[in-house]
């Protein structure tokens, strides 16, 4: 399974967007009376970073970022923080350094920088973006379902923090979508392990994995397969009644799903069902857990 990556251009705070999105014939250097890096005088070229004013350092850093000269950008943003720590430029430089490290996939460094920004500037108008960008650093590191999913759990936790702190923001809306993708990813991991256990005839272990998908990830695309696999395993164990009850839950919740047809065919093969699967009109069906409870008990 290939996990979707977030577009790099998403979510730059309004306070910084002007510098990053300058287009057409206007160059970043035209925003400053002394010009950008290419317009420096011979005397300026000989100046060390610590001798440059903070506004020029910031201008040069953003210009380097736009040119994807990330190492140069970081040096300029760091110079502002080291030499002008109490200036307004230092606050923006902290956030921009975090964004730059994110852009060059240095996620550990980016998280560290963003954590410092959040700690030092909790009331900043850009703090919501800092939390969101921090969550993306974890999200970008989500591994394939064949590997350990600790990173997925960390990403979900960071994304949920964005939702909890800034529920009405655009960042929260995007975070919710990514949380759903993370949950689908975790469910996929459970199904992968469950199928492996089933092939090894470790049926009790397989049931545990499939049941977790049904219990904890019922809103994902993997839930119908999990129920169908449970029917399959129960029949292998000779637990026909359990298989029929599980198939009923599957049919009531996902009547048109192909996995319901698979489960029904399995029941037909052992003589536990006849004909075609029957369904109930969607508008007549009660809620998910009401249906599940009713059919099991």
Global pTM exceeds 0.75: no
pLDDT at 278: 60
pLDDT at 68: 95
- Residue ranges of the chain with pLDDT lower than 70? 1-47, 278-297
pLDDT at 284: 40
pLDDT at 143: 86
pLDDT at 180: 95
pLDDT at 282: 42
Tens digits of residue pLDDT in 223-259: 999 999 999 999 999 999 999 999 999 999 998 899 9
According to the 3-state scheme, what is the secondary structure of the chain? CCCCCCCCCCCCCHHHHHHHCCCCCCCHHHHCCCCCHHHCCHHHHCCCHHHCCHHHHHHHHHHHHHCCCHHHHHHHHHHHHHHCCCCHHHHHHHHHHHHHHHHCCCHHHHHHHHHHHHHHCCCCCCHHHHHHHHHHHHHCCCCCCCCCCHHHHHHHHHHHHHHHHCCCCHHHHHHHHHHHHHHHHHHHHHHHHHHHHHHCCCHHHHHHHHHHHHHHCCCCCCHHHHHHHHHHHHHHCCCHHHHHHHHHHHHHHCCCCHHHHHHHHHHHHCCCCCCCCCCCCHHHCCCHHHHHHHHHC
pLDDT at 44: 44
């Amino acid at each position: 399974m290939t996990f979707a990556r977030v577009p790099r251009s998403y979510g730059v705070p309004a306070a910084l967007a002007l510098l990053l999105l300058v287009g057409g014939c206007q160059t970043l250097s035209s925003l400053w009376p002394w010009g950008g890096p290419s317009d420096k005088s011979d005397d300026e070229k000989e100046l060390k970073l610590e001798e440059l004013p903070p506004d020029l350092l910031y201008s040069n850093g953003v210009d380097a970022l736009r040119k994807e000269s990330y190492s140069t950008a970081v040096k300029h943003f760091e110079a502002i923080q080291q030499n002008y720590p109490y200036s307004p430029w230092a606050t923006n430089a902290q956030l921009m350094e975090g964004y730059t490290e994110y852009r060059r996939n240095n996620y550990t460094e980016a998280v560290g920088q963003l954590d410092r920004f959040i700690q030092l500037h909790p009331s900043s108008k850009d703090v919501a973006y800092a939390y969101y960008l921090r969550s993306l650093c974890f999200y970008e590191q989500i591994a394939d379902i064949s590997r350990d999913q600790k990173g997925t759990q960390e990403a979900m936790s960071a994304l949920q923090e964005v939702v909890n702190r800034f529920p009405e923001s655009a960042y929260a809306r995007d975070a919710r979508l990514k949380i759903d993708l993370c949950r689908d990813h975790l469910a996929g991991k459970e199904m992968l392990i469950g199928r492996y256990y089933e092939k090894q005839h470790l049926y009790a272990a397989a049931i545990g994995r499939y049941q977790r998908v049904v219990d904890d990830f019922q809103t994902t695309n993997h839930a119908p397969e999990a129920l169908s696999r449970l029917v399959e395993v129960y029949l292998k164990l000779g637990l026909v009644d359990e298989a029929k009850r599980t198939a009923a839950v599957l049919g009531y919740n996902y009547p048109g799903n192909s996995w319901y047809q698979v489960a029904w065919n399995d029941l037909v093969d052992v003589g536990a069902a006849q004909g075609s699967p029957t369904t109930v009109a969607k508008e007549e069906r009660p809620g998910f857990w009401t249906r599940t409870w009713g059919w099991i008990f």
